[in-house]
Structure 1
Amino acid sequence: MLDRPVPAVRHYPFTAVVGQDDLKLALILNAVSPRTGGVLIRGEKGTAKSTIVRALAALLPPVAVVTGCRFSCDPAAPDPACPDGPHDSASSRADPLRGDELPGAGPAVSVRPARLAELPVGASEDRLIGSLDLERALTEGVKAFDPGLLAAAHRGVLYVDEVNLLHDHLVDLLLDAAALGTCYVERDAVSVRHAARFLLVGTMNPEEGELRPQLLDRFGLTVEVTASRDPAERAEVVRRRLSFDDDPGQFAARWAEDEKALAARIAEARGRLREVVLSDAAVRRIATVCAAYGVDGMRADLITAHAAVAHAAWRGGTEVTAEDIREAVRLALPHRRRRDPFDAPGLDESELDDLLREAGADVDPDADAGTDADAGTDPDADPDPDPDPDPDGRHEPDPDPGSGPRPGQDPGHAQDRDRAGEPALDQGSETVPPGPRDEASRPPGAGTALSQRTEQAGEPYRVRALAVPGLGTGSPGRRSRARTSYGRVSGSRVPDGRPTSPHLTATLRAAAPYQRERGRTGPGLVVRAGDLREAVREGREGNLVLFVVDASGSMAARRRMGAVKGAVLSLLLDAYQRRDKVGLVTFRGHGAEVVLPPTSSVEAGAARMRGLPTGGRTPLAEGLRRAAEVLRVERLRDPSRRPLLVVVTDGRATSGTDADVHRAAALLRNVAAVVVDCESGPVRLGLAVRLAARLGGEAVRLERLAASGLRDLVHERRKAA
């Protein structure tokens, strides 16, 4: 055995990370100018997201703080309302970062490295904003406040890994602090506030769900990271990581000079920041580009301006140029272009170049000499306006509308055309079906083959939430009633361990009868640990919404699938807003398929739904059995998350017997269920209503999903709860 000391644990060096140039640039711009607003890092697993963020703290300039202040007050401008104050101003004293003497009046000053505080996804509210020592407050009459992570992150970095999984009540607190630069703690008749200005950095995997729009907009820059596909680069990543794991200290020493040089350059750029000139022409160019991209609000313009100034300082310039603006726009605008959670963030860089060129021509007519300003054309562009000229110089006419898609159009998204002998289809159909026939009218044996068609989904619309009856204890969300760690106080209880949310009135009530026995002689209240009570709070939880969708030929033949897809997309959008997990089971032909296992990514659910083909027979019983199996497995994984089953069907079962459907429905009797009745026509068989009765749930017609019918259904379910 080698007799050597175990090396101290070190973070992987920032400069040793292979590739990820955009991510490095975004973090460096924030290190140069904290006004840039933080970074959101989106990407797949194993792409060094957390590694590079944790390495950032070592590059940040050190921070001068008031000695002994738990809230990191700046000696030059201490917070007058600091709970550890008051602190006298030390603005007249020498700069402690240069190691000068600090004579004269003012608080004692110390210098420490910049902090990186990590907020775990499962953190409590007390861990984030701080907590009160109720026992000391009652027995000693003092405000004993224990600061939280927002205090630790002040004048540093607050890092949230898997930020998209952060509970909503923590997101609300984070938004308030980020917007105001102050953390307010108002609870149990005690009020505390302290400064909380920090650089917000978050990482997330989009497959696990998207961020709330309010929090998404709080991140100044965003970066999409992916693993390199270059074998040589991947091999270098493996070599460096193995070397680091073998001896972190020696590996860090090899990169120490590079780290030191980068930290020095960041410090120089930060010092140069005030010298950078942002001209009026540059401001108008930024505003023109942001307006052209149609971003909401003015935060995009401000963040882009700050990032452009930081980039100019980073490259050593004294004035913001078009290249600085381009780099800033690339990082500041992609996540602000989203219009709904089904849109993937992104930016077309060729379009960006065109916009910058046009914006430059508007603010400086001489910037692009030779450009036809009236036509807005590129002088280097091909004068032939036809984007697809024939190789022989001839222009072919457009292809026959009935023979296929237009040039450049995805064959899977071609519009339907009238065909001889067939009626025109509605615009929801994307491929021409064999004909509007139900399975019952097909020749014998025809039902065994799946004649597939894919219909375009209708536009999502707003629906009213369906709720699971009763009171749950699941993950915080916005759908069903639940006992949670936040929300309105509905009672009190004896805590199991240290109370996380003390109930002051109940504690006083529990201690009051025993004051004489405990020898109380003065005004103070004698409180024992057994008197402490914590609040029982009622809020909302997120549920598992499992969609079971009939994709058989009976749905396609009556041309209802476009409306069905629009309804499911609307319910998926509602699930995103209410922080649910979603799953998707479809059935057609002779079986059922789990198209989307339960996930928090409604974006993935929307993609599966839009591309869902239809055709074949209707194995309703198999779809219900598969749904029961999915819910059984999820119950083992997350027993506290209650499910809501949404079955979208016309109730027909052309594969299997009625007894099979009855037995399959019995497996789901204890699950809250809603059946969306897709039956249409003047004559209705009521099969979907009968299925809802078997499931012990409610039935709602498809055409009433967005109307008052659903509102009435919700009221009925609330009365039942």
Structure 2
Amino acid sequence: MIGRTPTHEGVLLKPYPFTAVVGMPDLRLALVLSSISPAVGGVLVRGEKGTAKSTMVRALAGLLPGVDVVDGCRFSCDPASPDPACPDGPHAEGVPAHRRPARLVELPVGAAEDRVVGSLNLEKALSEGVTDYQPGLLAAAHRGLLYVDEVNLLHDHLVDTLLDAAAMGRATVEREGVSVSHAARFVLIGTMNPEEGELRPQLLDRFGLTVEVSSSRDPEQRVEVVRRRLAYEADPDGFAEGYASADAALAAEIEAAQRLLPSVKLPDEALRQIAEVCASFEVDGMRADIVTARTAVAHAAWAGRSEVTTEDIRVAARLALPHRRRRNPFDAPGISEEQLEQALEDAQPPPEGPDDDGPSGGSPGPDDGGPMPDGGPSGSDGAPPPGDNGETPPGNGSSPQKTVGAGDTFRARVFRVKGTGEGERGRRSRAITDTGRTIGVQPPSVRDGRPHLVATIRAAAPHQQARGRSGAGLEVRSADLRFALREGREGNLVLFCVDASGSMGARARMREVKTAVLSLLLDAYQRRDKVGLVTFRGAEAELALPPTISVEAAAARLDGLPTGGRTPLAEGLLEAARVLRVEAIRDPRRRPLLVLVTDGRATSGSDAVARAKAAAGLLTGVTTIVMDCETGRMRLGLAAELAGHLGAEHVPLSEVAAESLATAVRERTGRAA
């Protein structure tokens, strides 16, 4: 999808001017630096909905200089240096060319892989012996911008494809032994709302820069945002005209910085500072150092300097390092300004003369050298949680509620949904997908997935004489096409139903429960599952978190889960059944896995046990794991009995860790294969 012009009541509007966007200086700077130097690696914009992320990205295209392209080339080859491997080439010297504006290509979240990288016509390849390649969005974005809104909802394999193309500057398509490659150099920009789920740390690291945006809390600034938006919708042309000179001036500055970029020097002292900063923040690999260096050079060019300075490195580190510090999906991105200043200072050559107690004439620290707010130990990831050992004491000493923190997570056992599904691609349960190992062939009436070359040839070969084919090659018709049936893995809905009653309220036990559930949440994150959280205590059950792909939200709700009161087991099961019923209508392809965390007691209301057994009948057919939290020498075995009523697998809390049941895990893997 090339560009997208906003509309208002069916009328096409001019794009919102870049310089008309209020606030967000970090996002503005990151986009400009990536435009000056595409080698930076693009920008990931994280922020809540309604913060003008998409508006600013779409406005950026209008600031970029136009590009010269070869006439008739679908891959936007530069006439001064055409791609020698261009599928539309080779292009001779002096080939006719024209100049066009830089493109903004938008990639829809639901785009198929062929739409992204391009597709090959198998029928023509077999029958005519020619490679008929239809370019995809990567070809359209060459020498421009590729924008992915809600990049966190994009399938991982597509994100990998995009990031590989952005890093290598080329896109390669291979289908059944036929390979096509073309240049694909573009600025990759992704936007996302963290509430809808995170990107894996491995994918986060592939983005050059990241920026956190949020709506302003300043009433005056919010008023100005609304005023400008209403003025834009009332008269788009007039509004855009009012900012045309400012946009033109900014575009000229970007073009000047692009011309200056190749001559900017990066001295050894600056490289030493970059290395010191990256080592100080303990980032993995060397990509952080390289991206920081490229960003510092781009910032120096933007500032009109011919040599990188400490200020350039400071700005580059603030944009290039926050998302590379994450060690697990529940860590918040960010860097300590105090630690950054200290690292920059440590990398400075020693001053001549006697030492001072502090830096002399150096760059000011945060808040002009003042103390950091809420300061803790230097280099910490954040302030320690309140309470002793991560526990938060109740606000009222007479209240039976209390909150207990979790311990360190561990590698959890892998629980899978029974049978074979057809759900969203993931890494948990067996499913028929468009990737994975080939287990069969589908007839032409299905026409789903990639064509199967051998099966297609076998289907076409017996009919060649009847079709009058006497020479080389095959005459292939649509009825001959066969498509591969592939088995891979799917992501599931993992619904946690957690008993938070008084029987679970012992500190040691609840800490163990939260640790186990948090470990299972981490496993769900890695397997691209959707998660939900139901809790029950007192006299009722509560949907603490509706099903979402944001396991971070589930972890936060779990961390603040209070305990106390009676055990309304029936209500918990009824609420879990209701949530699964609603979700089956909303997302029918995603099969559920219910994880019931309880000691099996039912003590709330009359006939609590009988009602719990009746409620269990509503969950028949749902793959369920009963995590038994009963401890001590004298055990009633109620959780095991409940598992029998549910037809569920009974797993003691102590056996949730993978290491504790290595033999059982190997047996389970063998059965699932």
Once residues 55 and 496 of structure 1 are traced to their aligned partners in structure 2, the CA distance between those partners, rounded to angstroms, is 44
Q: Write the deviation string for residues 302-321 of structure 1: whole angstroms up to 9, x where unpaired.
A: 11111111111112222222
SS state at 2:126 partner: helix
* Structure 1 residue 670 corresponds to structure 2 residue 621: yes
In structure 2, the partner of 1:74 is 78
The aligned amino acid for 1:76 is A
Whether the 8 Å CA contact 2:394–2:401 is kept in 1: the answer is no
The aligned amino acid for 2:574 is R
Pick which of 53-62 and 199-208 moved more.
53-62
Deviation at 1:359, TM superposition (A): 3.2
Specify which of 494, 518, 523 is matched with residue 569 of structure 1: 518
SS state at 2:125 partner: helix
In structure 2, the partner of 1:183 is 171
Whether the 8 Å CA contact 1:371–1:379 is kept in 2: the answer is no
What pairs up with 1:15-34 in 2 under 5 angstroms? 15-34=19-38
Whether the 8 Å CA contact 1:185–1:191 is kept in 2: the answer is yes
The aligned amino acid for 2:186 is F
The aligned amino acid for 1:44 is E
Whether the 8 Å CA contact 1:564–1:678 is kept in 2: the answer is yes
What pairs up with 1:540-559 in 2 under 5 angstroms? 540-557=489-506, 559=508
Specify which of 41, 46, 62 is matched with residue 45 of structure 2: 41
SS state at 1:594 partner: strand
SS state at 2:347 partner: helix
* TM-score, scaled to structure 1: 0.85
SS state at 2:205 partner: helix
In structure 2, the partner of 1:460 is 409
Once residues 454 and 392 of structure 2 are traced to their aligned partners in structure 1, the CA distance between those partners, rounded to angstroms, is 64
The aligned amino acid for 1:84 is D
Pick which of 333-342 and 237-246 moved more.
237-246
In structure 2, the partner of 1:422 is none
Whether the 8 Å CA contact 1:7–1:249 is kept in 2: the answer is no
Deviation at 1:717, TM superposition (A): 7.9
In structure 2, the partner of 1:484 is 433
Once residues 353 and 332 of structure 2 are traced to their aligned partners in structure 1, the CA distance between those partners, rounded to angstroms, is 34
The aligned amino acid for 2:32 is I
Q: Write the deviation string for residues 579-602 of structure 1: whole angstroms up to 9, x where unpaired.
A: 001111111111111111111111
Specify which of 263, 266, 271 is matched with residue 278 of structure 1: 266
* TM-score, scaled to structure 2: 0.91
Whether the 8 Å CA contact 2:447–2:483 is kept in 1: the answer is no
SS state at 1:518 partner: coil
In structure 1, the partner of 2:465 is 516
Q: Write the deviation string for residues 511-537 of structure 1: whole angstroms up to 9, x where unpaired.
A: 233323322232232222222222222
Deviation at 1:10, TM superposition (A): 2.4
Once residues 548 and 145 of structure 2 are traced to their aligned partners in structure 1, the CA distance between those partners, rounded to angstroms, is 30
What pairs up with 1:237-636 in 2 under 5 angstroms? 237-360=225-348, 363-365=349-351, 370-372=356-358, 413-415=386-388, 430-431=392-393, 451-495=400-444, 500-557=449-506, 559-636=508-585
What pairs up with 1:151-230 in 2 under 5 angstroms? 151-230=139-218
SS state at 2:157 partner: helix
Pick which of 544-553 and 71-80 moved more.
71-80
Distance 1:563 1:636, change over 3 A: same
Specify which of 99, 102, 111 is matched with residue 123 of structure 1: 111
Deviation at 1:458, TM superposition (A): 1.1
Q: Write the deviation string for residues 27-85 of structure 1: whole angstroms up to 9, x where unpaired.
A: 00111111221100000001111111111111112222333222222333332222222
* Structure 1 residue 660 corresponds to structure 2 residue 648: no
SS state at 1:483 partner: strand
Deviation at 1:571, TM superposition (A): 0.5
The aligned amino acid for 2:256 is E
Distance 1:515 1:711, change over 3 A: same
What pairs up with 1:102-113 in 2 under 5 angstroms? 105-113=93-101
SS state at 2:222 partner: helix
Q: Write the deviation string for residues 153-188 of structure 1: whole angstroms up to 9, x where unpaired.
A: 222221111000111221232233234322221212
Once residues 38 and 367 of structure 1 are traced to their aligned partners in structure 2, the CA distance between those partners, rounded to angstroms, is 44
Once residues 557 and 650 of structure 1 are traced to their aligned partners in structure 2, the CA distance between those partners, rounded to angstroms, is 12
In structure 2, the partner of 1:651 is 600
Pick which of 232-241 and 44-53 moved more.
232-241
Whether the 8 Å CA contact 2:139–2:183 is kept in 1: the answer is yes
Whether the 8 Å CA contact 1:581–1:600 is kept in 2: the answer is yes
Deviation at 1:245, TM superposition (A): 2.1
Deviation at 1:347, TM superposition (A): 2.2
Across the two proteins, how many residue pairs are aligned to each other? 651
In structure 2, the partner of 1:12 is 16
Between the two proteins, what is the percent identity of the paired residues? 63
Distance 1:649 1:28, change over 3 A: same
In structure 1, the partner of 2:634 is 683
Once residues 368 and 540 of structure 1 are traced to their aligned partners in structure 2, the CA distance between those partners, rounded to angstroms, is 65
Whether the 8 Å CA contact 1:184–1:193 is kept in 2: the answer is yes
Once residues 578 and 38 of structure 1 are traced to their aligned partners in structure 2, the CA distance between those partners, rounded to angstroms, is 26
The aligned amino acid for 2:643 is A
Once residues 106 and 355 of structure 2 are traced to their aligned partners in structure 1, the CA distance between those partners, rounded to angstroms, is 52
Q: Write the deviation string for residues 543-571 of structure 1: whole angstroms up to 9, x where unpaired.
A: 00000111111112373010111101100
SS state at 2:488 partner: strand
Whether the 8 Å CA contact 1:469–1:718 is kept in 2: the answer is no
SS state at 1:281 partner: helix
Deviation at 1:7, TM superposition (A): 6.6
* Structure 1 residue 55 corresponds to structure 2 residue 4: no
Once residues 359 and 451 of structure 1 are traced to their aligned partners in structure 2, the CA distance between those partners, rounded to angstroms, is 54
Once residues 395 and 302 of structure 2 are traced to their aligned partners in structure 1, the CA distance between those partners, rounded to angstroms, is 59
Which structure has the larger Rg over C-alpha atoms? 1
Distance 1:536 1:108, change over 3 A: same
Once residues 234 and 429 of structure 1 are traced to their aligned partners in structure 2, the CA distance between those partners, rounded to angstroms, is 38
Pick which of 636-645 and 179-188 moved more.
179-188
Q: Write the deviation string for residues 192-246 of structure 1: whole angstroms up to 9, x where unpaired.
A: 1222222111000000010022221111111111111222222221222222223
Distance 1:129 1:541, change over 3 A: same
Whether the 8 Å CA contact 1:476–1:541 is kept in 2: the answer is yes
Once residues 643 and 636 of structure 1 are traced to their aligned partners in structure 2, the CA distance between those partners, rounded to angstroms, is 12
* Structure 1 residue 143 corresponds to structure 2 residue 131: yes
Deviation at 1:8, TM superposition (A): 4.9
SS state at 2:173 partner: strand
* Structure 1 residue 702 corresponds to structure 2 residue 653: yes
Once residues 254 and 46 of structure 1 are traced to their aligned partners in structure 2, the CA distance between those partners, rounded to angstroms, is 24
What's the C-alpha RMSD, in Å, of the aligned pairs? 3.0
Pick which of 575-584 and 53-62 moved more.
53-62
Once residues 720 and 369 of structure 1 are traced to their aligned partners in structure 2, the CA distance between those partners, rounded to angstroms, is 67
Distance 1:691 1:56, change over 3 A: same
Once residues 195 and 49 of structure 1 are traced to their aligned partners in structure 2, the CA distance between those partners, rounded to angstroms, is 28
Once residues 445 and 540 of structure 2 are traced to their aligned partners in structure 1, the CA distance between those partners, rounded to angstroms, is 48
Deviation at 1:112, TM superposition (A): 2.0
Structure 2: 5+ residue runs without aligned partners? 1-8, 375-381
The aligned amino acid for 1:699 is H
Distance 1:273 1:369, change over 3 A: farther
Q: Write the deviation string for residues 100-139 of structure 1: whole angstroms up to 9, x where unpaired.
A: xxxxx44333322222221111110101111111222233
SS state at 1:644 partner: strand
Once residues 530 and 485 of structure 1 are traced to their aligned partners in structure 2, the CA distance between those partners, rounded to angstroms, is 21
